[in-house]
Structure 1
């Protein structure tokens, strides 16, 4: 019952994403007549390792769920697939989910997913520049071009906030959309002056000779929730038992990932072609089972400040 369907996309010179599959059918859990098929849309990055681990460890089968994983380049592509019912659940950064909430899309957060380390000297997301760049501080990004994996979203919101906090003027910075796997090459080729990337692409960029300018997630807020798993309002309302089962399996998956960093590194190798020397060095995020409400509130206020949303989300209804 373990299934993964991976849709590949363009890769940088160090890392190329590829398809993978795992396992064979197993018996249904005691007391269950059959497995319920679910599809979960994710981004194939270090952040989503707990879902793959949960599949490998049988946590979803334990709940009677037949899990298929599909991948996309960003949350902006996953959201409409969940709304349409193509996916029962999805993974997306909180910026995309705040935008969706602001637009009135019928989505409901169901699980926490990943958070920054809170360490301003070592984190799972960073703004990188070329090794010989004259850019030394975030304020030096004034008038420069910075890439993120999607625009008007989590990363550029955090980048703008940390640039301004460092004494820069983020209104002078041009943000462009480049997928994570291609961002390091874009920096090296001077297509952009800097790139905001997450692991394993932070370490890959450094291995390619780039330099970390700032760990902006941790600079923005300690223990910042980066993303969440979500479903459609229709699924939450019509099939609460399915949601309960997914939440239970996901909680076990997050707990397992947090307690087993070596297993996290090993599973990442199954859905990305990360070189072993890079995999050994990547900074793993935290995998919390609860949201940091204060940090998410601060993110909502920043999204409002920079025009990403017209209204900051109400945490009492936005978070599960």
Structure 2
């Protein structure tokens, strides 16, 4: 009887000790809702951060939603539908110009070049930008970063997109690729993996990179309301640390390894296409290797917006960019 009592009492003690520990672990997990502007191989480090458990290591439970477009992503952030937005930095400038009481702050950069490629319907062995003149060009949405970076690159090569091209800009982002596939346009501006898929299927041929042409800029950045960052400083730091780990992982691993890690996010895309897309982005330095958005990139962004006639007003770097979180993470 005494032996049975001792065993029962021991089990009781173990139980009451385990329950608080388990509860404590559960309470320590923080939920963070991310809204990504689109689903793209361009965002490979983000998917690596999820798949390799880097967010989980930081005690973060991530919910990822594709919010399809900069305007919808900003609406979700401003209405508290998401906590963190992954979108182009130009959106924070647009919101600021509207007199936001709670400004949108860029705190961790994911990509540092444009992510689109120039795709020609016909195969061109010796490409020259002059070949675009008088062609029908299926461009991106007006006011978005792809369109502005695209126009910047065209002007750099002496092409006025509104005078020298038959420029089509009235097609929604999601329908640009299908429109080209169905026969609209001689040239189109596309993200990966669509550009490589079209090339593999003979629909089009990649002839140039807008990322190379437009230089470094804060193309896709994690941003939150200023109030959220102030109220959740530890969460913001943990989030940034996870992204930094993923950036370093992608930088130090092969395109094949990265493709295998993120394949689950692109169910309808062959692994070789994912690998090819990752390699293209890595080779041109599109993936940022750390989360710091520097001032030179910020000024290049505003120059491109100004060139496109879309800059409401110049915004000081310190007003909408917070690098202290990323700097703290990198200094550890």
TM-score by length of 2: 0.76
Deviation at 1:74, TM superposition (A): 2.5
Q: How does 1:145-224 map to 2 (within 5 A)?
A: 145-172=136-163, 173=165, 174-176=167-169, 178=171, 182-209=175-202, 210-221=204-215, 223-224=216-217
CA contact (8 A) 1:54 1:250 kept: yes
CA contact (8 A) 1:255 1:287 kept: no
In structure 2, how many angstroms separate the alpha carbons of the residues matched to 1:135 and 1:233? 49
Moved more, 223-232 or 182-191: 182-191
Residue among 309, 312, 315 paired with 2:314 = 312
In structure 1, how many angstroms separate the alpha carbons of the residues matched to 2:249 and 2:122? 37
CA contact (8 A) 1:107 1:232 kept: yes
Residue among 233, 247, 250 paired with 1:240 = 233
> What SS does structure 2 have at the residue aligned with 1:169?
coil
Deviation at 1:29, TM superposition (A): 12
Deviation at 1:134, TM superposition (A): 12
Deviation at 1:215, TM superposition (A): 1.0
Q: Over residues 280-306 of structure 1, what are the superposed CA-to-partner deviations in whole Å (9 max), with x where a residue is unaligned?
A: 322233232123532331221120222
In structure 2, how many angstroms separate the alpha carbons of the residues matched to 1:194 and 1:296? 29
Q: How many corresponding residue pairs?
A: 287
In structure 2, how many angstroms separate the alpha carbons of the residues matched to 1:265 and 1:199? 13
Deviation at 1:144, TM superposition (A): 4.5
Q: Over residues 109-162 of structure 1, what are the superposed CA-to-partner deviations in whole Å (9 max), with x where a residue is unaligned?
A: 11010123xxxxxx9531112025899543444454434453211111111111
1:87 aligned to 2:78?
A: no
In structure 2, how many angstroms separate the alpha carbons of the residues matched to 1:88 and 1:244? 14
CA contact (8 A) 2:117 2:208 kept: yes
1:107 aligned to 2:101?
A: no
Unaligned runs of 5+ in 2: 1-20, 323-332
Structure 1 residues 128, 164: closer, same or farther in 2, change over 3 A? same
CA contact (8 A) 1:139 1:169 kept: no
1:270 aligned to 2:264?
A: yes
Q: How does 1:248-259 map to 2 (within 5 A)?
A: 248-259=241-252
Q: Considering fraction of residues, name the structure with more helix.
A: 2
Q: Over residues 175-197 of structure 1, what are the superposed CA-to-partner deviations in whole Å (9 max), with x where a residue is unaligned?
A: 42546664344224332332211
> What SS does structure 1 have at the residue aligned with 2:219?
strand
> What SS does structure 1 have at the residue aligned with 2:51?
helix
**Aligned CA-pair RMSD:** 2.9
> What SS does structure 2 have at the residue aligned with 1:307?
coil
Moved more, 89-98 or 150-159: 89-98
In structure 1, how many angstroms separate the alpha carbons of the residues matched to 2:139 and 2:94? 16
In structure 2, how many angstroms separate the alpha carbons of the residues matched to 1:50 and 1:28? 31
